[in-house]
């Protein structure tokens, strides 16, 4: 048995609330475009198996770690959308596997809609053995993204959407423990069958000069914390021209390097405002800690990105 069954179905107007309620995940989201956030999360599972569906309506930078002790798979609920995930462009005809203890790094768009499955490797190996296949580790051979024939992935997507409908329609006669046992078996069989017959590892393209420069720039900005990073400084640290960085950031984030560094500091300030105890001058103190010295300009930039004033974020502290 996999222990107590947990269930969450909730709409969110705050992306940090969304992250805090993503059971078993350790998430850190950053908003990349202006406007109010809206998201929905459905999660159903236990210690051995978890099914989730997540929707977001803002372009987000997603970081974090998948549930510990489980193998986590993802596929896009709509075959016509795409995301950037762990340095690869993911389409609706690809299945992706989160690396154990590896970092989630994804850029999602306003149409983000993903179906996620987490299972134990023991269960996956049981199914592999029953089908006379190599164990799961050998079957995937360290690959993280698999290109699947459309009908194979469509069958898995259909099954997951059916599971979602059943979970949403739960009533008093619903036995969650029995359902979870059947769900765990069905998902493991479907996934192993798909990987064995209908998928091929996706080939990673060699990183371009601008990709390497972007990775270096992102790391430098994160390590700088709340210090203002100038563009000449960033170019020197990454050994790249301003033009190369402009192309790289616009292609990946739809932001210039200067806009990205501003968004980075605004997101950091927001997280601190959410964690702070409201008191006089708290907004100005936090703004200054993140390199914002003109309060009117800070408030305007903050409101443009998050569709609320810094003081409103502070007052919502839980």
- Residue 280 has what pLDDT? 66
Residue at a domain's end among 142, 176, 201: 201
- Residue 167 has what pLDDT? 92
Q: Which residues have a Cβ under 8 Å from the Cβ of 313 and sit 6 or more positions away?
A: 270, 273, 274, 306
38 and 71 co-located in one domain: yes
- Residue 266 has what pLDDT? 96
Residue at a domain's end among 178, 201, 224: 201
193 and 51 co-located in one domain: yes
- Residue 146 has what pLDDT? 96
195 and 215 co-located in one domain: no
47 and 125 co-located in one domain: yes
pLDDT tens profile 187-205: 999 999 999 998 899 988 8
Residue 226, φ and ψ in degrees, nearest 5: -100, 5
Q: d(Cα 296, Cα 279) in Å, to the nearest integer?
A: 19
Measured CA to CA in angstroms, residue 224 lies from 137, 167, 238 at distances of 38, 45, 13
pLDDT tens profile 47-73: 999 999 999 999 999 999 999 999 999
CATH of the domain at 41: 2.60.120.10
199 with 152: CB under 8 angstroms? yes
Residue 293 falls within a domain, yes or no? Answer: yes
183 and 271 co-located in one domain: no
Q: d(Cα 48, Cα 117) in Å, to the nearest integer?
A: 11
186 and 294 co-located in one domain: no
pLDDT in tens, the chain (318 residues): 578 899 999 999 999 999 999 989 999 999 999 999 999 999 999 999 999 999 999 999 999 999 999 999 999 999 999 999 998 999 988 999 999 877 889 999 999 999 999 999 999 999 999 999 999 999 999 999 999 998 999 999 999 999 999 999 887 677 888 899 999 999 999 999 999 998 899 988 888 899 999 999 999 999 998 888 999 999 999 999 999 999 999 999 999 999 999 999 999 999 999 988 777 668 999 999 999 999 999 999 999 999 999 999 988 755
29 and 53 co-located in one domain: yes
155 and 185 co-located in one domain: yes
Q: Which range marks the domain in which residue 16 is found?
A: 6-201
Long-range contacts of 77-84 (CB under 8 A, 24+ apart): 77/53, 77/113, 77/114, 77/115, 77/157, 77/160, 77/161, 78/111, 78/113, 79/150, 79/153, 79/154, 79/157, 81/109, 81/111, 81/112, 81/113, 82/109, 83/107, 83/108, 83/109, 83/112, 83/114, 84/252
Measured CA to CA in angstroms, residue 253 lies from 32, 82, 86, 104, 111 at distances of 7, 14, 14, 16, 15
Residue at a domain's end among 142, 174, 201: 201
Residue 1 falls within a domain, yes or no? Answer: no
- Residue 317 has what pLDDT? 58
95 and 143 co-located in one domain: yes
- Residue 177 has what pLDDT? 86
Residue 302 falls within a domain, yes or no? Answer: yes
CATH of the domain at 249: 1.10.10.60
Residue 60 falls within a domain, yes or no? Answer: yes
229 and 159 co-located in one domain: no
Residue 152 falls within a domain, yes or no? Answer: yes
29 and 146 co-located in one domain: yes
16 and 152 co-located in one domain: yes
226 with 289: CB under 8 angstroms? yes
Q: Which residues have a Cβ under 8 Å from the Cβ of 243 and sit 6 or more positions away?
A: none
- Count of domains forming the chain: 2
Q: Scan for tokens 């300009």, then name that residue.
A: 297
Sign of CA dihedral 93, 99, 104, 105: negative
Residue 42 falls within a domain, yes or no? Answer: yes
Residue 164 falls within a domain, yes or no? Answer: yes
């Amino acid at each position: 048995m996999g222990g107590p069954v947990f269930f969450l179905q909730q709409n969110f107007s705050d992306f940090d609330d969304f992250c805090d309620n993503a059971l078993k995940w350790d998430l850190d989201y950053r908003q990349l475009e202006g406007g109010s956030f809206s998201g929905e999360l459905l999660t159903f599972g236990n210690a051995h198996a978890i099914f989730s569906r997540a929707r977001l309506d803002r372009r987000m930078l997603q970081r974090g770690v998948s549930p510990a002790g489980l193998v986590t798979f993802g596929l896009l609920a709509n075959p016509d959308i795409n995301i950037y995930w762990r340095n690869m462009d993911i389409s609706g005809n690809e299945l992706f596997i989160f690396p154990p203890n590896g970092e989630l790094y994804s850029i999602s768009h306003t149409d983000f809609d993903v179906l996620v499955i987490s299972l134990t490797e023991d269960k996956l190996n049981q199914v592999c053995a029953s089908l006379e296949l190599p164990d799961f580790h050998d079957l995937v051979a360290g690959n993280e993204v698999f290109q699947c024939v459309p009908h194979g992935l469509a069958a898995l997507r259909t099954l997951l959407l059916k599971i979602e409908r059943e979970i949403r329609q739960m009533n008093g006669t619903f036995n969650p423990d029995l359902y979870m046992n059947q769900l765990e078996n069905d998902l493991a069989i479907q996934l192993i069958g798909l990987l064995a017959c209908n998928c091929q590892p996706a080939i990673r393209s060699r990183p371009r000069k601008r990709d390497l420069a972007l990775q270096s720039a992102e790391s430098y900005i994160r390590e700088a914390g709340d210090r203002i990073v100038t563009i000449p400084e960033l170019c020197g640290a990454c050994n790249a021209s301003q033009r190369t960085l402009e192309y790289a950031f616009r292609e990946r984030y739809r932001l210039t390097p200067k806009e990205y560094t501003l968004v980075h500091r605004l997101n950091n300030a927001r997280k601190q405002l959410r964690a702070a105890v409201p008191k006089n001058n708290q907004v100005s103190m936090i703004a200054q800690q993140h390199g914002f010295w003109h309060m009117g300009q800070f408030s305007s930039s903050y409101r443009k990105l998050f569709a609320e004033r810094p003081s409103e974020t502070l007052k919502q502290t839980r």
